[in-house]
Structure 1
Amino acid sequence: MRNTILAFFILLSSSIFSQKLLKGVVRDVENEAVFAANVYLKNNQEIGRTTNFNGKFELRLTKENINDTLVISFIGYNIKEIPLSSISYEKTIVIILKKNSLALQEVIIKAREPISEQFSVTKLEMLDIYLNPVSNGDPLKAITSLPASTNMDETANPSLRGSSGDRTRVIFNGIPIYRPVRNSQINGIGHFSLFNTAIIDKQYIYASNPPLTYGNTSAGLIEIETIKKLNFNQLSLSAGLAHAGVFVSQKIRKKSFLQVYGNYQNSEAFLSINGKSLPQLKSFGSKDVGINLHSDFGKQTTFNFYSYGIVEDYRVNVTAFTFKGDAYGDKIRNFNIINFSHIFKNGRIAFNNGTNFSRSAFKYGNMSSKNERHQVYSSIDYKWYGINKLNIQFGLNHDYGKSIFRDSTPVFYYALSPESPNYYSDTTIITHNIEAYYYFSWEIAKKLLLSNGVRTNILVYKQKSYLSYQFSLKYKISRKQSLLLSGGKYHNYSIPNYYSKTYNLLNSKQLALDYAYADKKTLITAAVFYKDEAGERINNEFFQINHSYTAGVELYFESFFMKYFKFSLANTYLNQKIEIEGEKYNGEKNLKYFIKSSLSYNNPNLFNIAVTYITRPGKYYTPVVNSSYNELVDFYGPFYNNDINSRQYEGYNNMSISLSRYFQFMKKSMIVFVSINNILNSKNQSDVFYNFDYSKHFYDHYQQRTIYFGAVWQMNY
């Protein structure tokens, strides 16, 4: 027995000492760590790792591997190969990756990046979204942490610099995605976006003066691009308090890959823990699936196909005027996007096509709505790279929309009980919007860039003619500082809904000045802007805003310190007035301050923790001041104050915390996370409602303290 044990330890010791531990760190030429770089053996790719947040990796090697070659690769950089025989194992090796600078590669990168990229206020990449403390991994919710975001509804609907969500457009692979949210209500408000961050490469945010390479937006623009190169195959499984999901990325051949994902969402476990904090929410659920196929034919021709489908439903208790009852909603939706592009020596041509179909139903009291939407969007764009750093893009697009409404509407807007009278309507709305545009950017001097764009519609379907135009001037004060001056006039059509069954033509005039300072550890931005917007119609109200005037100031500070800490602080001031029939009133978003702050600690060897705090004044609203009894329906009818938006909800305060831990085992990894929203359980007022005769008023509240937890397991292969 003693000899057996001795033999075992001799074999174990022999096995241990026959292995060598290779430690390394991957950096770029600016000495910045490269996260998620692939490190593997050339002749045995099963032995490999991806670098952590600090660019570090470890590989345990055996005698059989010592004559192999170490390969390090990361998208946008030259692949580096190092013979293991030349490496010293006694110290950590430092590997420097250099960006790919081949002439053709420069043309390809230049062709694929937006021509207006230099004029975007913010660019977020995949990792930025995941590390954002308020995003919950959602690309649109990540935007809410920016000072330009003036979203006041705790949703994913983009609202930029005081404008309504219906004025900002989300462009996904060149196609506008209207109502880009799920778990949405009859007014279009949704809590999460439709997009999966795992397939996103970049997200550009134009807070105002959106580039006229795209149309149908009169506030801001969010441009999302999916990844164009797959570094490794991946299987990912996720599960949380209300969801379960799977994600697969698979190389098909050298320059093609397929990504498939699906998610299932159910509210039972979530509400069993958080039900008391969400008394109005009764249930929610969804099933969705997405497919992304990308192929490069040679170095200059690209094809991409993306398809997404979702089925969702919800039940929520709603109080409107003096009636309280359950609202039911369900929806099925599918959209498909096809992109084809070819790069020439001095330009790129792109063909884009997108289709969207949705069918939804809603029921509340004596209100009901069945809505069907069809959309087909097609565009052709040509981008030309001329002499003297002049780039020009021009194109043509056609946007077809059809909305069908089959509604039951209350005869008296305030009498909403199931027994109250209503009337039926069947409405079909069709639009054809054809637009042509040109846009150019020109580097006038080494530090000075100029852009200009014009977009106009081609009259085809009982439309009014319009002309949108813009200019931007960017001055690079130094390598770290820049100024951006932009202005223009813009147009877009509103999306029809239950309350406004028409495509209203909206317009805006904008002027903005943005400043940015950035170095390795600090980011400072500031902006002043002014908007004059017209054409807005307010849901549930009985007036149309002639003009909305918004003047604002934004400040943002972000700093990395003590290696693992990051602090950010943003504040936005908005002076907003609305004009109705010649009279001016406070706008809903007339805010003296809108403060967002966060402190995070990101140590991949220990844990990641982030605390966020948001505070702002309450929104303005128009109170009911009197009522009269209507014996026909046994309801009191309200009389509103003639001074519109004369009252304000109490101030909003929300402190939230998120905690995660990252584990890595060779090519497998796991992240476990927990988040607590509104940890102080603040009762933030969201809406006002009344007793039967409007003599007393009460308040609904935004989400109170809720907890969510889960885990993500993934394997690279």
Structure 2
Amino acid sequence: MTFLNLLRARRVLRSLAVLCLLAPAAAAQTPPLRGTVADKTTGEKLLGATVRLAGQPATATATDLDGAFALLFAGRPDTLLVSYVGYRTFRLPLAAVPAGPLAVRLVPGGGLALAQVEVTARRPIAEDFIVKELDFLQIVTNPAAAADPLLAVRTLPAATTLDESASISLRGSDPSQTGIYLNNVPIYDAVKFAQLTGIGTFGIFSVDMVKSVLVFPSNPPLEFGNAGAGLISLTSDERQRSRFVQASAGLANSGLLAGQPVGRRGMLKGYVNGQDGQLLRALNPGSFRQLRQFGLLDGGLHFATKTSEYGTLKAYVYGLREQYAYRPTTGGAENYRYRNLRGFYTLSYEQAWSRADLALSQGLSRRRATDALGAYRTTRRGTDYFAAAHYRRYWTERLSTRLGASYDERRLHLAGQFLVGRGEPDAAAPTYTAAFGRGRTLWEVYQYTKLTRGPWVLGAGLRLNALPRPAQPGYASAQLNLRRNLNARSFLNLSGGQYTSFGSPDPTLYGFLRTRVRQLALDYATTSSDPAGATLTAAVYAKQEASVLSTRVLGAEVFGQRTFFKCLRADLAAATVHARPARYDAADPAARALALAQRRYDVRFQLKSTLRLVGKWGELGAFAQYRAGAPFTPVLGTETDPATGAQQPRYPAQLHAAYLPNYFRADVTASKFIRQKTNGNTLVLYAVCSNVLGTRSVSRYTYYSDYTQALPEYFQGRLLYFGLVKTWQ
């Protein structure tokens, strides 16, 4: 969904699963069987636990985000079965519907059951080394995430993003080094408004389609290729639920989401959303002085079905049309205009057996983007194709190996009138005509083996270029993970390795650059046995990245979270990253221009905090971030380009040595959820105020065409918007 749709759709969706269960139950003569499912040790509510009656397997259901379930019961004697991966199956003989809700508490344990293999077939083999997993509830209840999966990642302590976009930097690395996968298929340029300044950038993933987000801030699993410094893996939701229709309306958009069961095991969901900024700009004129217009139309279809008891097929199709126009800070009569058309699909199949599992995935993406200002105008066309196969063998309950092969092809074509210098687009700036064709093809194979012995977990793997050739010489990636479980709720994890990625940071200078990333990280996590207790994580890490540019990064982070009075949850994250200035060949002007264009992710300090207060009256949320200003390179004056005779900016010898003013932003949200008792329909009212204090944080400096005066550009000003979401079922 679009960013405003997603903001408060979270309250509807949070209760949607329960409502879908209650609607058909209300029509039954026998009252439904209700209850909750939780971990017996920690009390944590379990999302997605399977609940069924032994004599009525067709009525099986799953627990919702609050661990709740409602199940039709015929009234004759039967046995209730509750199962969840990693827990012993719960059995309860029933002669009649209990007088009150059941409180099911599952006990951790059990061997390598087939049901467990079915679930782990959809997860990376390095799941024991996951530092952070975000589920649907954690995404939609995050005040700063706007119900956007990628923006939710940005709020984690490991995220070192220096702007307000969904292009995620993890632990001091450029976003081009962060791999983003959907159902095991890489998604490149996974953002909306990719070049927009003044309003922000949002992810293209609808939270309604997402089941979970796995975040690997360091040492991405080797089964995912082309990820150098970190990885974000999204999994779509394949669970079946009752039919529903949801409509939303806000200041800037309207949208429609619908879901329909298909057969006994399938589910089809689709959505379409449109954005038009007229009302939003009218209510917030101070925040959109430069932005003249913007608009977006996107939509998606997701189909998932069980092909067998332990087999799943998923298909996802997405389309996007966006455009905007804004007046550059340096003035002028013309607006900068941008237009983008995008479409992709992913197809995945997973099958599990008692001692093995198989996963197949394939995807195709097409894109056409144009931008223009004065004589400057370019057209970019891109095509991405991907296919992969993975096979995992469980030799014993403690030893498993996964191996696979992948084909990853990217093609990019640029043509038009490009700027002679490296400055911002200017209607009066000189241009030249050119066309660029860039591409790369990766054939890769890998293997990863994991061994568990008592409290120790050891993993090691290797990923290779399967078809070396002159245009693509051989290379190798390797990984080693060692985890020590201190107790049932605490662990230490040491991970390290060498990784290879291929990105195109600036196609006008280079093709798809191969970057080698070497890194080492030590992570610690502990969670209280009390559900309302504290959670603490900490990490230290070091990495070295080398391509045309070379840099080293050192960093540390700590995160704590606690619940107070059963209604207030608060967390605080602190981090520091030291990234040395990039080294490059001083005799190569293109390398210097690339070093100037890329950011240096040097964050001397960073503080993030989230508050969430819930009551019968509704919910309030707040998020605040305070960090050191980003490094930048000031312009010292002008000099004459000997090749063209044009004036160009003169920079200091050491790039990115100066720092912008410190950054601060605070967001607040308020919402109210209303459910009709007669038919179960719901209504959500919401209001959001971004940058509530109106802080003017500098994002960068721009210059007139003669580079005589620096003009500050600011991040998003105070922005107020509100809307509603209505659901019928």
Quote the residue 1:108 is aligned against: 118
SS, match of residue 636 in structure 2: strand
Q: CA deviation at 1:130?
A: 0.7
Quote the residue 1:643 is aligned against: 654
Quote the Cα distance in structure 1 between the aligned partners of 2:568 and 2:95: 36
1:251 has 2:261 as partner: yes
1:589 has 2:601 as partner: yes
Quote the Cα distance in structure 1 between the aligned partners of 2:711 and 2:653: 21
1 or 2 for the larger relative contact order (CA 8 Å, sep ≥6)?
Answer: 2
Amino acid at match of 2:556: V
Of 453, 461, 464, which aligns to 2:461?
453
Quote the Cα distance in structure 2 between the aligned partners of 1:488 and 1:209: 7
Q: CA deviation at 1:627?
A: 2.3
Normalized against structure 1, the TM-score is what? 0.86
Q: 1:561 to 1:424 in 2, by over 3 A?
A: same
SS, match of residue 500 in structure 2: strand
Q: 1:103 to 1:34 in 2, by over 3 A?
A: closer
1:396 has 2:405 as partner: yes
Larger mean CA deviation between 621-630 and 384-393 belongs to 621-630
Amino acid at match of 1:552: G
Q: 1:37 to 1:676 in 2, by over 3 A?
A: farther
Q: What do the CA deviations read for 1:365-423 (whole angstroms, capped 9, x no partner)? A: 32211011111101111111112511111111111111111121133445954455422
Of 618, 627, 633, which aligns to 2:638?
627
Conservation of the 8 A alpha-carbon contact between 2:623 and 2:667: yes
Larger mean CA deviation between 276-285 and 575-584 belongs to 575-584
Q: What do the CA deviations read for 1:592-633 (whole angstroms, capped 9, x no partner)? A: 211001111123x32111111110111111111122589999
Q: What do the CA deviations read for 1:117-163 (whole angstroms, capped 9, x no partner)? A: 11111011111111112111000000011000001110011110010
Q: CA deviation at 1:54?
A: 6.1
Quote the Cα distance in structure 1 between the aligned partners of 2:328 and 2:366: 28
Quote the residue 1:26 is aligned against: 36
Quote the Cα distance in structure 2 between the aligned partners of 1:51 and 1:255: 17
Alignment of 1:523-534 (within 5 A): 523-534=535-546
Larger mean CA deviation between 412-421 and 394-403 belongs to 412-421
Q: CA deviation at 1:425?
A: 1.2
Of 472, 475, 497, which aligns to 2:481?
472
Quote the residue 2:695 is aligned against: 682
Quote the Cα distance in structure 2 between the aligned partners of 1:656 and 1:624: 33
Normalized against structure 2, the TM-score is what? 0.85
Alignment of 1:451-600 (within 5 A): 451-457=459-465, 458-460=467-469, 462-495=471-504, 497=506, 499-519=508-528, 520=531, 521-535=533-547, 545=549, 547-581=550-584, 588-600=600-612
Q: 1:56 to 1:180 in 2, by over 3 A?
A: closer
Quote the Cα distance in structure 2 between the aligned partners of 1:361 and 1:225: 31
1:672 has 2:672 as partner: no
1:179 has 2:189 as partner: yes
1:406 has 2:415 as partner: yes
Quote the Cα distance in structure 1 between the aligned partners of 2:349 and 2:30: 48
Q: CA deviation at 1:248?
A: 1.5
Quote the Cα distance in structure 2 between the aligned partners of 1:404 and 1:53: 45
Q: CA deviation at 1:580?
A: 2.5
User: How many residue pairs end up in the alignment?
Assistant: 677
Q: What do the CA deviations read for 1:61-101 (whole angstroms, capped 9, x no partner)? A: 9xx9999999998986979899795543xxx5443265897
Conservation of the 8 A alpha-carbon contact between 1:75 and 1:231: no
Quote the Cα distance in structure 2 between the aligned partners of 1:237 and 1:526: 41
Conservation of the 8 A alpha-carbon contact between 2:143 and 2:622: yes
Q: 1:336 to 1:33 in 2, by over 3 A?
A: closer
SS, match of residue 653 in structure 2: coil
Q: 1:622 to 1:237 in 2, by over 3 A?
A: same
Conservation of the 8 A alpha-carbon contact between 1:186 and 1:362: no
Quote the Cα distance in structure 1 between the aligned partners of 2:681 and 2:52: 14
SS, match of residue 153 in structure 2: helix
Quote the residue 1:364 is aligned against: 373
Amino acid at match of 2:607: I
Q: What do the CA deviations read for 1:200-236 (whole angstroms, capped 9, x no partner)? A: 1111000011110111111100111111222333322
Q: Which runs of 5+ in 1 are unaligned?
A: 1-18, 44-48, 536-543
Larger mean CA deviation between 20-29 and 250-259 belongs to 20-29
Alignment of 1:225-304 (within 5 A): 225-304=235-314
SS, match of residue 374 in structure 1: strand
Quote the Cα distance in structure 2 between the aligned partners of 1:336 and 1:21: 43
Conservation of the 8 A alpha-carbon contact between 2:448 and 2:460: yes
Quote the Cα distance in structure 2 between the aligned partners of 1:663 and 1:142: 25
SS, match of residue 575 in structure 1: strand
Quote the residue 2:8 is aligned against: none
Of 428, 432, 450, which aligns to 1:441?
450
SS, match of residue 603 in structure 2: coil
Quote the residue 1:197 is aligned against: 207
Quote the residue 1:152 is aligned against: 162
Conservation of the 8 A alpha-carbon contact between 2:39 and 2:46: no
Quote the residue 1:6 is aligned against: none
Quote the Cα distance in structure 2 between the aligned partners of 1:232 and 1:319: 51
- Structure with greater Cα Rg: 1
